[in-house]
C-alpha cells in the first residue's frame, strides 16, 4: 500500500487537474469568445450561463495547487518558481475575470465596457498562461539538487507560445460547445459556427504537439516507441487506440456540430478529445511529475501525510462530485435569465 500511495495520489491529482481543465475550460472559453458575440443581450446570456458555476470550477485549480503542495511538496516547490511568471499572469488574469462577473452586472455605460474587456482579456491571458505552463512542462524543467536554478524566462520558447495559443483555441471549442447546449436561436447558430472553426484549429494543434513532444524529449519519444525515422511498433501498439479514438471523436464532433438537432453531444465529444490529449501527455510524462527531473516517487510527501489525506479524499471526493453534479443538474437546460439575485 505504502509503495502504491504516490501513484494513487498522482492518479487523483491528475484527475483533479483534468476536471479543472474541462470545467474552467468552458467558462474561460466563453470569456474568450465574449466580445465577438453579436449583441449585448447575447453577452448577458453567455455570462449568465456560467455565472453560477465558475467559482466551483475554479476550485479544482485550488485543489490542483493545494493538492500538489500536500502530496508532492517537492514537485510543488520545484515547479512553481520555474513557472513563476506565467503563474503570476494566470492569477492576475483570473482576478480580473473573476471580479468582472459581479462588477459587470452592477455597471452601465463605459464601466460595463471596461468589465467586458476585463472578462475577455482575463480569460484570454489565463488560458494562454496555462498553455505556456504546459509548454514549459513538456519541454522539461531542469533541476539542480531537486531545486530550480534557472532564470526567469526559461518558460518562454516558440513551443510554449504555440501551446499557449493551442490552449486558447481548445477552450474556445469547449466554450462554444457549452453554448450550443445552453442557448437557443441565433446565439446557438453562432456558437455552432465558432465550434466548427475551432475544431479545425484544435485538430491542427493536436497534430503539431503530437509530433513535437517526441522530438523535444528522448524519454517521451522512447515511451511511445518513436525513434525518428524508425518506429518501434511493439511499443507503440498499446497506445494506438488513443490517436484512433481521437480521430473518431473529431469526426463525430464535426458531424454533431453541423447537425441541427444535437445539443449535448458536441460538448461531450470536445471533452472526449481533451481527455485523449491529456492521456497522451500523461503517457509521455510518466513516471515524472516534474518532467524529466523528478519522479512521482521522488517528489512524494511522507506516506503518513499522503495516507491521512487519502482517507479524506476517498470519502470527500465522491461527495464533492455528487453535489457538483447536483448543482449542474439544478441549472440544467437553456439559460434562465430570470434566476439571478441582482
Of the candidates 30, 70, 209, 294, which one interacts with another protein according to CB under 8 A? 70
Q: Which cell numbers in the block locate residue 336?
A: 434562465
Single residue of 35, 52, 142, 243 touching another protein by CB under 8 A: 52
CB under 8 A: which stretch of 162-170, 239-247, 281-289, 332-340 binds another protein?
332-340
> Does the protein bind another protein through residue 333 (CB under 8 A)?
yes
Residue 92 near another protein by CB under 8 A: yes
Q: Decide if residue 237 touches another protein (CB under 8 A).
A: no
Residue 307 C-beta-side C-alpha neighbours within 13 Å: 7
Q: Which of 84, 204, 251, 258 binds another protein (CB under 8 A)?
A: 84
Phi, psi of 72 (to 5 degrees): -135, 60
Binding of residue 330 to another protein (CB under 8 A)? yes
Q: For 93, what's the count of Cα atoms within 13 Å in the CB-facing half-sphere?
A: 21
Question: Binding another protein by CB under 8 A: which of 30, 51, 173, 290?
Answer: 51
Q: Which range in 31-39, 90-98, 127-135, 280-288 contacts another protein by CB under 8 A?
A: 90-98
Within 8 A by CB and 6+ apart from 154, the residues are 82, 136, 141
135 contact partners, CB below 8 Å, separation of at least 6: 155, 157, 159, 160, 161, 162, 163, 164
Q: Establish if 339 lies at the interface with another protein (CB under 8 A).
A: yes
Restricting to residues 241-260, which ones interact with another protein according to CB under 8 A?
A: none
> Which of these ranges, 26-34, 92-100, 255-263, 265-273, lies near another protein under the rule CB under 8 A?
92-100
Instruction: Select from 74, 120, 182, 223 the one that contacts another protein (CB under 8 A).
Output: 74
Q: Does the footprint of another protein cover residue 98 (CB under 8 A)?
A: yes
The reply on whether position 142 binds another protein by CB under 8 A is: no
CB of residue 31 vs another protein: minimum separation in angstroms? 14
Please name the residue that has the C-alpha cell 487519502. Answer: 310
320 binds another protein (CB under 8 A): yes
Q: Does 78 bind another protein (CB under 8 A)?
A: yes
Instruction: Select the residue interacting with another protein from 2, 40, 102, 186 (CB under 8 A).
Output: 102
Stretch that binds another protein, among 175-183, 248-256, 264-272, 310-318 (CB under 8 A): 310-318
* Count of residues of this chain found to bind another protein when the rule CB under 8 A is applied: 73
Determine, following the binding rule CB under 8 A, whether residue 185 of this chain makes contact with another protein: no
Cβ atoms 286, 18 nearer than 8 A: no
Could you say whether residue 308 binds another protein (CB under 8 A)?
yes
Give the Å distances, CA to CA, from 248 to 192, 254, 255, 262: 19, 10, 11, 17
CB 70 to another protein: min, Å: 3
Binding part of the chain for another protein, among 222-230, 238-246, 286-294, 301-309 by CB under 8 A, reads 301-309
d(CA 88, CA 130): 11
Which is nearer to another protein, 94 or 209 (by Cβ)? Answer: 94
In the bound state with another protein, the residue whose beta carbon lies nearer, of 46 and 78, is: 78
The residue whose grid cell reads 488513443 is 242
Per CB under 8 A, the list member of 35, 73, 142, 243 interacting with another protein is: 73
Three state DSSP letters for 8-39: HHHHHHHHHHHHHHHHHHHHHHHHHHHHHCCC
Residues 6+ apart with CB under 8 A from 53: 23, 27, 327, 328, 331
Q: How many Å apart are CA 31 and CA 268, to the nearest integer? A: 20
Q: Dig out the grid coordinates for 158 from the structure.
A: 516558440
Which residues lie across from 295 on neighbouring strands? Answer: 288
What torsion do the CA atoms of 303, 309, 312, 313 make, to the nearest 10 degrees? -100
Amino acid at each position: 500500500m505504502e509503495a502504491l500511495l504516490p501513484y494513487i495520489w498522482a492518479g487523483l491529482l491528475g484527475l483533479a487537474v483534468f476536471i479543472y481543465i474541462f470545467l474552467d475550460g468552458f467558462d474561460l472559453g466563453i470569456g474568450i469568445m465574449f466580445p465577438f458575440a453579436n449583441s449585448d443581450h447575447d453577452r448577458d446570456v453567455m455570462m449568465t450561463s456560467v455565472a453560477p458555476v465558475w467559482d466551483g470550477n475554479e476550485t479544482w485549480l485550488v485543489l490542483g495547487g493545494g493538492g500538489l503542495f500536500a502530496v508532492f511538496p517537492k514537485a510543488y516547490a520545484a515547479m512553481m518558481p520555474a513557472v513563476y511568471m506565467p503563474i503570476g499572469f494566470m492569477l492576475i488574469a483570473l482576478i480580473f475575470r473573476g471580479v468582472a462577473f459581479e462588477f459587470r452586472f452592477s455597471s452601465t455605460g463605459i464601466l460595463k465596457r471596461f468589465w467586458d474587456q476585463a472578462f475577455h482579456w482575463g480569460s484570454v491571458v489565463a488560458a494562454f498562461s496555462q498553455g505556456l505552463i504546459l509548454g514549459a512542462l513538456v519541454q522539461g524543467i531542469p533541476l539542480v539538487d531537486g531545486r530550480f536554478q534557472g532564470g526567469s524566462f526559461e518558460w518562454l520558447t516558440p513551443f510554449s507560445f504555440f501551446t499557449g495559443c493551442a490552449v486558447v483555441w481548445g477552450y474556445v471549442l469547449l466554450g462554444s460547445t457549452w453554448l450550443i447546449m445552453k442557448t437557443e436561436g441565433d446565439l446557438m447558430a453562432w456558437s455552432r459556427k465558432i465550434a466548427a472553426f475551432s475544431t479545425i484549429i484544435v485538430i491542427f494543434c493536436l497534430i503539431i504537439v503530437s509530433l513535437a513532444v517526441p522530438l523535444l524529449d528522448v524519454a517521451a519519444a522512447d515511451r511511445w516507441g518513436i525513434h525518428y525515422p524508425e518506429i518501434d511498433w511493439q511499443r507503440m501498439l498499446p497506445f494506438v487506440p488513443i490517436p484512433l479514438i481521437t480521430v473518431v471523436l473529431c469526426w463525430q464532433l464535426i458531424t454533431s456540430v453541423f447537425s441541427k438537432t444535437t445539443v449535448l453531444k458536441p460538448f461531450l465529444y470536445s471533452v472526449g478529445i481533451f481527455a485523449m490529449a491529456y492521456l497522451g501527455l500523461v503517457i509521455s510524462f510518466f513516471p515524472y511529475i516534474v518532467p524529466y527531473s523528478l519522479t512521482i516517487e521522488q517528489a512524494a510527501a511522507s506516506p503518513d501525510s499522503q495516507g491521512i489525506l487519502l482517507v479524506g479524499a476517498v470519502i470527500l471526493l465522491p461527495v464533492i462530485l455528487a453535489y457538483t453534479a447536483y448543482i449542474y443538474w439544478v441549472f440544467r437546460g437553456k439559460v434562465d435569465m430570470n434566476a439571478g439575485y441582482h
